[in-house]
Structure 1
Amino acid sequence: MRRLLLGAALASVLVLSYAAPVSAHERSLRVATYNLSLNRSSEGLLREHLANPAVDDVYRRQARNVAEVIQRAHPDVVLLNEFDYDPEAARLFERNFLAVSQNGAPAQRYPYRFVAPSNTGVSTGLDLNNNGVADTTPGDQAYGDDSYGFGLFPGQYGMVVYSKYPIDSQAVRTFQRFKWKDMPGNLLPTDFYSPAAQAVLRLSSKSHWDVPIRVGHRTLHFLVSHPTPPTFDGPEDRNGRRNHDEIRFWADYVTPGKRAAYIYDDKGRRGGLRPGQQFVIAGDQNADPNDGDSYDDAINQLLGHPLINTRTTPSSAGAAEAAVLQGGANSTHVGDPRYDTADFADTAPGNLRADYVLPRKGLKVTGSGVFWPVRADPLSRLSGVFDPVWSPVNGFPTSDHRLVWLDLKR
């Protein structure tokens, strides 16, 4: 009942503003995460779509829509999840879509970007789903199940970081090949995976990146990832356990001392952040603190961490309204619907808080939000509701996730 009353009250808001006043924004750093569902069904298709922006089809319209969302929110630094790994596609999206005004929104230029390989769709050569066959032919569900991270081809559902500030590319750390078994006290289900699988399985379903960004005279470590959903498995809960440990990775990484000593990056360097280094953890964590299918309250490893500032929770009136209008599983949720960031199936699990921007304690938060307009807002055309017209993409005019942003005092 509390969710319904709250949602009804917030639904009375007609038009939302997603841009902070210019004078305020100039004094802050806007950091965002957006699972924009810009993945495609086959390798190279995303590059093809982004290279030809004038074509009017459902794929280019979606690309223009997600670009407009980013332009309306105008973050200074943004992580994009579910962007197929392709350095040229990352360049084309910035040049042909973000740097070109969409429906009058201010064009955004990002002179700095970082992209690296993803574990998704990279074959292990092993039978990871225990169906008796090691599928090594890209393009089908079984191949995805037997890859280091689920994907129909190498790099599907990858990541990219865009920044208006310089990225210290020489200091970037990636953890794509860190093995799950090497995390002390891991939750790897040894009764499900064969010894051969346990020996090679990587922790990251995509990757974990530490991307240092130079903002004036300081360095901000942008810690980004996209843990696997805690679903699509069996009673062994292998994806739920992996999601938990992918989230735990950052909890350990930002803790100075012995807790991070086991970590090694793709160049062999060991350990986590040094004491006092500034950071923001961002990404689609696929974990809600109150609802959904997470294993052992996975996200609370970050939300309850003594070095992470969780005093500000990004919210939107649109999320609260959606919970009321959609009903279903949403009416049984414990969490406050204002904080939802993803529009999922209403039968189960319902809308959830899945996407996070979490700064280090000591960084002053001056603003925050979730790009989820109420339906009376003209910009709600960008978030929309599930519609078969968009089924070739994902059923939405943009994504089933919403852009989440946080302003930090510069």
Structure 2
Amino acid sequence: MTLPLTIRVATFNVSFSRPQPGQLAAELAAGYRQPQHIARILQHIRPDIVLLNEFDHQGNAQDDDHLQLFCQDYLAKGEQGIDYPYRYLVPTNTGILAPLSLHGQESPRLPADGLGFGTFHGQYAFALLSRFPLLAEQLRSFRHFLWQDMPNARLPQTSQGSYYGADVLNILPLSSKSHIDLPVALPNGRVLHLLACHPTPPIDEGAERRNSCRNYDELRLWHDYVRPERGHYLIDDNGVQGGLMAQADFIILGDLNADPQDGDGFREGIQGLLADPVLNREVALGRLRPASRGSFALKPRSARLGSPKHWTHTQGLRLDYVLPSANLKALASGVYWPARNKANAELFWNKRGWPDRQASSDHRLVWVDLAC
């Protein structure tokens, strides 16, 4: 018999991306202010499982020295210290130079011709931290799945035809970083599938809308994966075909770079995902949709249709998500964004009352409590 258990799952784009390789590691070793503030936020919310988007590393899962440093010298320190004995640094496509130019230039060069956008391999990567064992031997990743192999892929088009030539499509993966299904073993014997990703932002593009198209299909990958009847075409990096098994417990989490009502990109992708009954509707669209009060102080440059209480980014957008499956019971949720006159406001606002990205991040931590 499975005993009841309450866990807190979070996603946080920590803005630990830096222009040079090794810069983040050096800043962590030197005790810079921003990672100290990020640690304080995590210590305050205390998630049992958290995805950290935009955590630079050297591009592979083995070289995790500065992730260990962040866990040991920042998160575990002080009276509010929190320990994450299980962690996974996710291999990424960012900053891997393509063997040919993706955009018709004479020779490929970074960052534009990376298989995922980045000035070096591992920029904008991500990591998972957990208080519970991560079942790495059961990991499924889709980092190498080719974009053109998705049926009816939304490949970018120009008036002359496909934006990408056949030679590019033969080497271009769909995932701009990675898509991973990493199961976690809960203390009561239940297994929870963490479906983590960080799709490309739908910006910095031309009329072909190549980044909007890629973002749309990166979201669709997970949408198809959790619908076995639709995900049969997917082949993971170990050659295993098919989507997630029916009735599995899962959570889609990450900075999805997609707002259902505002911002750039093709909104029908995130709208369709949020409305699918395979997800917990209360968290996706209902009374437990993560919210805060601090965002009401923002004044975006253009009008917004979405309510400020659901924003997770300082541009007035809902971009960051923790989306449990419908068979998981949600108890509470939130976006950690205190108002300017509340405790810990200095982690988010400068003295003039504007969001201070240098203090922590331009994104906000999103959390959901689940009864598992």
TM over 0.5: yes
Flag as ranges the 4+ runs of structure 1 deviating above 3 A.
none
Matched, 1:163 2:134: no
C-alpha deviations, 1:1-42, integer Å up to 9, x for none?
xxxxxxxxxxxxxxxxxxxxxxxxx95100000000011211
C-alpha deviations, 1:109-157, integer Å up to 9, x for none?
0000111211111100222233x23233xxxxxx111101110100100
- Partner residue, 1:52: 30
How far has the Cα of 1:64 moved from its partner? 0.5
- Partner residue, 1:328: 301
How far has the Cα of 1:203 moved from its partner? 0.5
CA contact 2:336–2:366 (8 Å) conserved in 1: yes
Q: Percent identity?
A: 41
- Partner residue, 2:43: 71
- Select 1:369's aligned residue among 321, 334, 342: 334
C-alpha deviations, 1:63-108, integer Å up to 9, x for none?
101111111110000000000124112111111111112xx5x111
CA contact 1:385–1:396 (8 Å) conserved in 2: no
- Select 2:108's aligned residue among 128, 135, 138: 135
Matches of residues 288-327 of structure 1 in structure 2 within 5 Å?
Answer: 288-311=259-282, 312-322=288-298, 326-327=299-300
Q: What runs of 5+ residues in structure 1 fail to find an aligned partner? A: 1-25, 54-59, 137-142, 345-350
- Partner residue, 1:220: 192
- Partner residue, 2:156: 189
Question: CA, structure 1 residues 285+385, in 2 after alignment: closer, same or farther (shift >3 Å)?
Answer: farther
Question: CA, structure 1 residues 91+194, in 2 after alignment: closer, same or farther (shift >3 Å)?
Answer: same
Question: CA, structure 1 residues 88+218, in 2 after alignment: closer, same or farther (shift >3 Å)?
Answer: same
C-alpha separation in 2, matches of 1:178 and 1:355: 24
Give the number of the structure with larger relative contact order, counting CA–CA contacts within 8 Å between residues 6 or more apart: 1
How far has the Cα of 1:386 moved from its partner? 10
- Partner residue, 2:19: 41
User: What SS does the aligned partner of 1:297 have?
Assistant: helix
- Partner residue, 1:180: 147
Question: CA, structure 1 residues 386+213, in 2 after alignment: closer, same or farther (shift >3 Å)?
Answer: farther
Aligned residue identity for 2:66: A
Aligned residue identity for 1:93: F
RMSD: 1.9
Aligned residue identity for 2:90: A
TM-score by length of 1: 0.83
C-alpha separation in 2, matches of 1:341 and 1:228: 17
- Select 1:400's aligned residue among 362, 365, 368: 362
User: What SS does the aligned partner of 1:260 have?
Assistant: coil
Q: What runs of 5+ residues in structure 2 fail to find an aligned partner? A: 59-63, 283-287
- Partner residue, 1:274: 245
C-alpha separation in 2, matches of 1:354 and 1:395: 16
CA contact 1:85–1:116 (8 Å) conserved in 2: no
- Partner residue, 2:68: 91
C-alpha separation in 2, matches of 1:380 and 1:220: 34
- Partner residue, 1:122: 96
User: What SS does the aligned partner of 1:328 have?
Assistant: coil
C-alpha deviations, 1:341-379, integer Å up to 9, x for none?
0002xxxxxx10000000000211111000111000131
Aligned residue identity for 1:363: L
Aligned residue identity for 1:369: G
Aligned residue identity for 1:317: R
TM-score by length of 2: 0.91
CA contact 1:85–1:118 (8 Å) conserved in 2: no
CA contact 2:260–2:267 (8 Å) conserved in 1: no
